């Protein structure tokens, strides 16, 4: 059995990604139990704080996606409760979770990221949608990629190939958030690079290449088995693979992240990677990318999760 006598996995929450979070939580609990860890799974409701106070866990594994799970709010509560947890601090989460802010930070470190503009819903309406959108197309060109500035799982995200498609894309985006990030769409290979730090510094796992059947890695393609083909490791040149690994580790470092993260990239035809966004609570479902990367690296997922919990518990 593990030296960890009591571990808590947080899953669920009230974000749009609740169902994915519940699946991630179940998977993490399963692999931890297989690794000999006593696990309790809890949702984020009114019973959480009293339960933690009455029976404090050795450490918490946060598998909450979107909203409070990744914006630092739940981690702030865990710190108030003096409970160690796997992952980035609240301050780092706040920076990483806001995509325009994260892009600005990594760009200041010299990393490539597509040109973009962040547009709040109020500005979109107050200044006149037609005039603003026309200027965006003039400035950034086509095609474009539109997505909420916060959140994940590709909810509210879409590719825009003509100016006529942009208004509908904005409306769809605003259904999931108050600010839209509109960025140049870079044609290339979509890659995810997970980073883990077991105490010796951040290390990139093998990149995972994503090939959705319908050409778009949307919510259904992410979480429906058989709708996307994955290659782990990605079918990249050694030079491109090294560049992707270096970018993911640099983003992890620049954003002040801790323990684990996943960076999403596009690699163009020349092998040049572009930073898209970073995830501080990577998905852990059967179709998620970090578990695929761990398998490609010949690392047992349960052992990896257990090690991260032990590292967190040692920070108490």
Give catalytic residues, as residue numbers.
17, 153, 288
Handedness of CA 245, 247, 250, 256 (dihedral sign): negative
- Spatial neighbors of 293 by CB under 8 A, at least 6 apart, are 192, 193, 194, 205, 206, 207, 208, 232
- Taking the C-alpha atoms of residue 171 and residue 204, their distance in angstroms, rounded to an integer, is 36
- Structure tokens belonging to residue 251: 């983003």
Instruction: Provide the total of helices (H) and of strands (E) in the chain, helices listed first.
Output: 12, 13
Which run of H or of E encompasses 253? helix 238-254
Which tokens belong to 59? 């450490």
Q: How far apart are CA 148 and CA 161, in angstroms?
A: 18
Q: How many Cα atoms occupy the beta-carbon half-sphere of 186 within 13 Å?
A: 23
Q: What is the dihedral of CA 209, 299, 302, 205, to 10 degrees?
A: -40
197 CA to centre of own chain: 16
Bridge-based pairing of strands 208-212 and 203-204 is unpaired
Q: Which pair of structure tokens corresponds to residue 4?
A: 């960890």
């Amino acid at each position: 059995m593990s030296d960890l006598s009591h571990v808590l996995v947080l899953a669920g929450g009230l974000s749009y990604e609740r169902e994915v979070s519940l699946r991630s939580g179940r998977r993490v609990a399963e692999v931890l139990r297989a690794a000999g860890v006593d696990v309790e799974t809890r949702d984020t409701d009114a019973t959480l704080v009293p339960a933690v106070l009455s029976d404090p866990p050795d450490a918490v594994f946060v598998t909450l996606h979107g909203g409070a799970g990744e914006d630092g709010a739940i981690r702030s509560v865990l710190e108030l409760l003096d409970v160690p947890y796997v992952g980035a601090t609240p301050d780092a989460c706040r920076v990483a979770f806001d995509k325009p802010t994260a892009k600005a930070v990594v760009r200041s470190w010299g990393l490539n990221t597509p040109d973009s503009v962040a547009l709040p819903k109020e500005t979109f309406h107050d200044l006149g949608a037609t005039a603003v959108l026309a200027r965006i197309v003039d400035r950034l060109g086509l095609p474009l990629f539109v997505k909420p500035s916060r959140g994940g799982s590709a909810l509210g995200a879409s590719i825009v190939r003509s100016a006529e498609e942009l208004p509908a894309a904005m409306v769809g985006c605003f259904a999931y958030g108050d600010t839209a990030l509109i960025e140049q769409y870079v044609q290339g290979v979509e890659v995810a690079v997970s980073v883990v730090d077991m105490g010796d510094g951040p290390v990139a796992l093998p990149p995972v290449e994503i090939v959705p059947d319908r050409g778009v890695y949307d919510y259904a393609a992410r979480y429906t088995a058989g709708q996307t083909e994955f290659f782990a490791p990605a079918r990249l040149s050694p030079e491109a693979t090294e560049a992707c690994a270096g970018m993911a580790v640099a983003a992890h470092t620049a954003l002040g992240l801790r323990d684990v993260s996943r960076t999403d990239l596009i690699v163009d035809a020349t092998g040049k990677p572009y930073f898209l966004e970073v995830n501080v609570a990577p998905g852990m479902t059967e179709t998620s990318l970090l578990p695929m990367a761990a398998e490609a690296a010949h690392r047992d997922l349960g052992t990896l999760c257990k090690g991260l919990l032990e590292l967190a518990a040692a920070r108490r």
